[in-house]
Chains A and B, each alone.
Chain A
Amino acid sequence: MADKPLTARMRADGEALDLQAYEQAGGYQALRQALGGMEPARLIDEVKASNLRGRGGAGFSTGLKWSLVPPDSPHPRYIVCNADEMEPGTFKDRLLMEGDPHQLIEGTILAGYATSSDAGYVFVRGEYHVSGDRLRRAIEEAYRAGYLGKNILGSGYSFELHLHLSAGRYMCGEETGLLNALEGKRANPRAKPPYPGVSGLWGKPTTVNNVETLCCVPHIVSRGAAWFKSLSKTNDGGTKLYGASGKVKRPGLWELPMGTTVRELLEEHAGGMRDGLRFRGLLPGGASTDFLTEQHLDTPMDFNAVEKAGSRLGTGTMIVLDDQTCPVGMVWNLEHFFARESCGWCTPCWSGLGWVDRILEAMEDGRGQPGDLEKLADQARFWGPGHTFCALAPGAAEPLQSALKYFRDDFEQHIREHRCPWRTNG
């Protein structure tokens, strides 16, 4: 429990903790503690002091985000839990929702209390129906037990929590695209400013937090910021759910101290590459992060260190590339996904992703042309941060630009030989 606050009490059989089990394990004590006399401002300060950074991938300070709702802003105010986990290679929030839904609910209520919110929404990825079912049941339990609804635990604080299952698009995971989707609109992102803290859901002050982020909150309240910071090996507070997929011996998910190195994750927890395969590179935090290679294996997996290595921590769930898998094919797969999921709003994204998808497809089919690499590089630059309306295309640029850097020979070989060297039928 001490070093794995988020997952230690989960059941071995994969079933969800029900309310009774959750309470027995100390659940809802943080909520009692907070509502029992902790001012919202103190709660925010505590979370700020814990150095909890957003686990959705951007790593923004959670306490700071909460303080961005102006104190005199109108009601109703909303907390939205972003549970639209659709980043390729990422499955950490699913574990938290399926294994311990009350932990998320408690964290959400606490976030609501900190921001003086009146209601919350858990926006769950449409395909996560197990998470949806378990959360629905848990929310009902929480209402019955008086943790949700009017005058929670006699504190005078009221908070409603709604479950919303997404219709299913990657764009719904972008916080403002999510808000539009919740309002029943196209899941296009919104221009910022105004930020959701000022004008969010239905134009009202709204705070959007990731599942894993919110799950940390009850523990910070119970054990204090200093304890939370001490869990980490680096300056970012807490533990982190790290994962690995790809042709490693033991793909999976582990709660480890923030700042665990890439090498430890890959070699100890994931068990290294499958026999006969060699490591070529990995995307450290989902599809929309730059490749890291051999030279980066000793990088601690926290927000700043991974950035320094030229990538992003993202969701902390790595996708590993081996030497028997075509890097061009892998990048094509990812760009095809991003192209499919572009909302169609801004030109670099809807237009450029479609083009890159076609170029990579052609390259894999042996129809690559001299000049293709320049076009790919042009597009990756074109999708740079600030060039597009939201982070989807800049995210899509990351695996592409880094693959062009680290696996350039492979791309050139595809064009030169008019075939994908990894395809047996050539």
Chain B
Amino acid sequence: MAKVFVDNRAYEVDPGQNLLHACLGLGMNLPYFCWHPAMGSVGACRQCAVKQFKDEQDSHGRIVMACMTPAAEGTRISILDEEAVSFRRSVIEGLMLNHPHDCPVCDEGGECHLQDMTVMTGHDYRRYAFEKRTFENQYLGPFLNHEMNRCIQCYRCVRFYREYAGGSDFNAFSLRNIVYFGREREGVLENEFAGNLAEVCPTGVFTDATAKRHYTRKWDLEFSPSICVHCGLGCNVSPAERYGTLRRIVNRYNADINGYFLCDRGRFGYEFVNSPRRIREPRLCGQTVSREEALNRLHELAAGGAIGIGSPRASLESNFALRALVGAGRFYAGIGARHSALLRLALEILHRGPARTPSLREIESCDAVFILGEDVTNVAPRMALSLRQAIRQPGMALAAQFKIPAWMDHAVREVAQDLRAPLFIASLAATRLDDIAARTFRAAPAGLARLGFTVAHALDGRAPAAAEWSADAAEIAQALKSAKRPLIISGASTGSTEVIEAAANVAWALPGAALALLVPECNSVGLSLMNAPPFDQAPDAETDTLIVLENNLYRRAPAGMVDRFLAGFRHVVVCDHLENALTGQAELVLPAATFAESDGTLVNSEGRAQRFFQTFVPAAPIVESWRWLGDWPSLDDVLAAMAAALPQLAPAVSAAPPATFRVHNQRIPREPHRSSGRTAMLAQITVHEPKPPADPDSALAFSMEGYPGEPPPPLIPFFWTPAWNSYQAVNKFQEEIAGPLRGGSAGVRLIEPGAGYGFFADLPAPFEPRQGEWLLVPRDHIFGSEELSREAPGIAKLAPEPYVGLNPQDAAGFGPEVEVAGRRLPVAPQPDLPQGVAAIPAGFAAFEGWDLPQWSRISRIP
């Protein structure tokens, strides 16, 4: 620690930090724009100027930028110095010359960093008397509005987009006071993390275009601490509601997982909650019925014995409620046999073997990565952003040798140039991380597995090997062995257990290696931890009734098989929130709450159990699935029952404080203290202020009233502190800037590595292309492959049309369209796809239930 003096008071700070970071960490209010806690310093905006003194005798001092000055031992600065105060005021005056001052019509208004900093510096009088410069704005796709007139040229957007997220279709153009941040030509932003610009931009140049269609000011929104449901990573989010519709998602900082950033699927997928296809009333034999009638029928049917099918996209609590209703012996996982085997294998590997699952934060410090079989950006998008930071490790180390501090962002990048940690990607086809890979390998699933096995053999001779990969494997093994923190990534996407086994062998052959196994859905791991067999093993003769929880079985198995399975039951009950092929066939349909309308627990691919809380109470009779299926008075009662019945899930109880938790006897308000709607929003119905809904399930209140301070991290609905109205208020909630929230990162790990393992011994046979037949393999798409998010109009717009991908040489034999399994599909030539393999977009409606990989004829259309 170093002793520094700020306005003549001594503080202990980390000398590895810059002064801005240190001052903010000490809780001081020092304004800034271009600096970002995750992106470091570049010294552009000059807003964080302070006065630095040589020593105690120096009374003159000089202006320095806090963000560009190390917090070295003995440093003396003043924030309050008159010249520094005046300088910072001049910076704001300069930034505001051309700013349109259109706060009343700007979506950023009320949560604008520029507003906050302007007030903080005391700039309040406009001396500029000339015309302002204006720009033309661009259409950037369905997710972001572009209003360049508001720009203050802090360069955060372009730094995030290009340098942090690896995008290339966005840039800074022109110069002086007319620098333009946008695309060369207008069009949809290509980068999967572009949505973060809405939060990275300190003002209203980039704002959430989905929110604009149902816009509400931050202070009139109701928030809750929640978890993203659109992939298996469990990023923390704050959904926001007004008048019963979900208005937007903002990032909820969790240092271990998403940090400051989300992917666009996670940020913009929320609109499924508002879908016109929502199930809003119970339905019995096609007729709307009351809640009581529906419940009576449910209990009548359940009493006669029922098979229950759970869901990897439903909470632990809802799955447990169904299990309790039908009995443990009749509870099945709502996934097919192949998928179930993949998940069970993954869990077994993580429990039994010595390799630990890393958090995304840990991934960012890995210095060699081997991805086997996954297209990370399209399966677990936020992890790809972490990998882009991980590969910078050697460059950071080189910069350290030159005594360039890690936060000196452009200097570090200049020294590092193209020096990257080795990233090897072995996949079915091209991936969105190929641009930073040391080498890429393409093969069919069997080939990928054989490569993985051979890498493991190169690391530990006891593991088996395939001869054809030995040179490549030796190269990969060497790089992994030379690393301090190697990481292996694999998962369920190829549908091949051998690929996962191969990845496990590699991780186990490397002492200390981390192993991340990707899963497709938000509670895939949680459901697997319940140890239920796959639903296609359910005997159909045993009972008359089938109860399906939040699950469209037609996505899980081929339609014919599902039809046959359903035919084995006289009564089908479905509890879900969106209409789908299955709800149309059910006798009884129960309207379930979405994640935004319910409380529950999800387990992410790291094995971390995290609680999400209800953002708003849905219009009756919609309730949480676990409320339909059981009669526990509150969430804590379900959790207690679950912990007793399933001890492996017991630690999940402590993922968040219970409903009885209070701070100074007060609940945590879901609404900001400035909520203006409290007395007004229902005034056209009644002038009496309605009583806020009760919340038996959490310590949160549907109100602006309650504890005004800082709740424990799992209960933080939104970030807001006095003088910091924007998201950047998160600074005030952290133990140290960019570190964990005070109270520790939310979540409880349920999976820790074991000690015993033996290498998997069985290599699959080499892949042999066939004449006239192709091995259909799934290809994931960030936009379109996930079931719920594709209901959001913006996501649907960006999802590709169904296609069949073929190697151009294979495609040469066909016309522009082919027939695959009775469907007519356009051919997409994909040069990176191995011959003999055909790619089918995973999870698309056109291919629901296809059990991939599978061999199939592809025929020419005459």
Contact B177 A351 (CB under 8 A): yes
Q: How far is the CB of A348 from the nearest CB of chain B, in Å?
A: 6
Binds A, one of B124-132, B324-332, B504-512, B741-749: B124-132
Our pick among B68, B178, B415, B416 for the contact of A194 (Cβ within 8 Å) is: B415
Contact of B177 with A354 in the complex, beta carbons under 8 Å: yes
If A191-B42, A199-B402 touch, whether A339 touches B176 (CB-CB below 8 Å) is yes
**A199 in contact with B94 (CB, 8 Å):** no
Q: Residue-by-residue, is A88-125 near B (CB-CB < 8 Å gives 1, otherwise 0)?
A: 00000000000000000000000000000000000000
Residues of chain B with a CB closer than 8 A to A203's CB: 414-417
Proximity string of chain B (82-102) to chain A, C-beta cutoff 8 Å, 1 when within and 0 when not:
000001001100110110000
Do the beta carbons of A194 and B153 come within 8 Å of each other? no
Interface presence of B669 (CB below 8 A): no
Find the A residue at minimum CB distance from B177: A354
- Among listed A254-262, A279-287, A385-393, interface-contacting one: A385-393
Contact, CB under 8 Å: A347 / B176: no
- B90 contacts A382, C-beta separation under 8 Å: yes
Q: B36 in the interface, Cβ–Cβ < 8 Å?
A: no
Judged by a CB distance under 8 angstroms, whether B196 is at the interface is no
Chain A residues with a Cβ closer than 8 Å to the other chain, count = 39
Task: Report if A340 contacts B (CB, 8 A).
Answer: yes
Nearest CB in chain A to that of B419: its residue:
A203
B87, B129, B179, most chain A CB atoms within 10 A = B129
Q: Which of B49, B129, B130, B414 contacts A199 (CB 8 A)?
A: B414
Q: CB-CB < 8 A to B174: which residues of A?
A: 344
CB distance from A95 to the nearest CB of B (A): 29
Instruction: Find the residue from A193, A345, A388 having the highest chain B CB count within 10 A.
Output: A345
- B interface residue count range (under 10 / 10 to 19 / 20 to 34 / 35 or more): 35 or more
Asked if B87 and A382 sit within 8 Å, CB to CB, the answer is yes
Those of A137-189 within 8 Å (CB) of chain B:
169, 171, 186
Cβ of B44 < 8 Å from any Cβ of A? yes
Q: In the complex the two chains form, is A199's CB within 8 Å of B46's CB?
A: no
Which A residues touch B45, using CB under 8 A? 346-347
B410 touches A191 (CB 8 A): yes
Q: With an 8 A cutoff between CB atoms, is B47 at the interface?
A: yes
Question: How close is B102's CB to chain A, nearest CB, in angstroms?
Answer: 18
Nearest CB of B to A345, in Å: 5
Q: Considering the chains assembled together, what is the distance between the CA atoms of A399 and B43 in angstroms?
A: 26
Chain A residues with CB below 8 A from B404, complex form: 193-194, 199
Chain B CB within 8 A of A18 CB = no
Task: Provide the residues of chain B in CB contact with A354, threshold 8 Å.
Answer: 97, 176-177
Across the interface, do B64 and A362 meet the contact criterion of CB distance under 8 Å? no
Say yes or no for B411: interface residue by CB 8 A criterion. yes
Q: Which of B130, B175, B417 has the most CB of A within 10 A?
A: B175
Point out the residue from B46, B175, B414 that lies within 8 Å of A344, measured CB to CB.
B175
**Residue interface mask B45-88, A partner, CB < 8 A = 1:** 11101000000000000111000100000000000000000010
A68 within 8 A of B: no
- Check A227 for interface membership: any CB of B closer than 8 A: no
Q: Check A340–B417 contact: CB distance below 8 A.
A: no
Query: How long is the Cα–Cα vector from A223 to B699 in the complex, in angstroms?
Result: 86
Contact status B177-A342, CB under 8 Å: yes
Other-chain contact of A346, B46, B64, B130, B175 (Cβ < 8 Å): B46
Q: Give bound CA distance, A258 to B414, whole Å.
A: 38
**Complex alpha-carbon distance, A362 and B131, angstroms:** 12
Contact yes or no, A348 B90, CB < 8 A: yes
Write out, one digit per residue, whether chain B residues 401-417 have a CB within 8 A of any chain A CB (1) or not (0): 01010001011001111
Q: Is A309 an interface residue when CB atoms closer than 8 A count as contact?
A: no
In the complex, what residues of B have CB within 8 A of residue A186's CB? Answer: 172, 175
Within the complex, the shortest CB–CB distance from A259 to chain B, in Å, comes to 31
A412 interface hit (Cβ, 8 Å): no
CB distance from B695 to the nearest CB of A (A): 46
* Contact partners of B179 in chain A: CB under 8 A: 344, 350
Closest chain-B Cβ to A9's Cβ sits at a distance in Å of 40
- A190-214 residues with Cβ-Cβ distance < 8 A to B are 190-191, 193-194, 198-199, 202-203
The 27 listed contacts between A and B (C-beta, < 8 Å) are: A169-B175, A186-B172, A191-B410, A194-B404, A198-B402, A199-B414, A199-B415, A339-B177, A340-B176, A341-B176, A344-B172, A344-B178, A347-B45, A347-B95, A347-B153, A348-B94, A350-B175, A351-B98, A353-B177, A354-B97, A354-B176, A354-B177, A355-B94, A355-B130, A375-B127, A382-B94, A389-B43
Given contacts A193-B404, A199-B415, 9 further A-B contacts (CB under 8 A): A191-B410, A194-B414, A203-B416, A342-B176, A343-B176, A344-B172, A382-B94, A387-B46, A388-B46
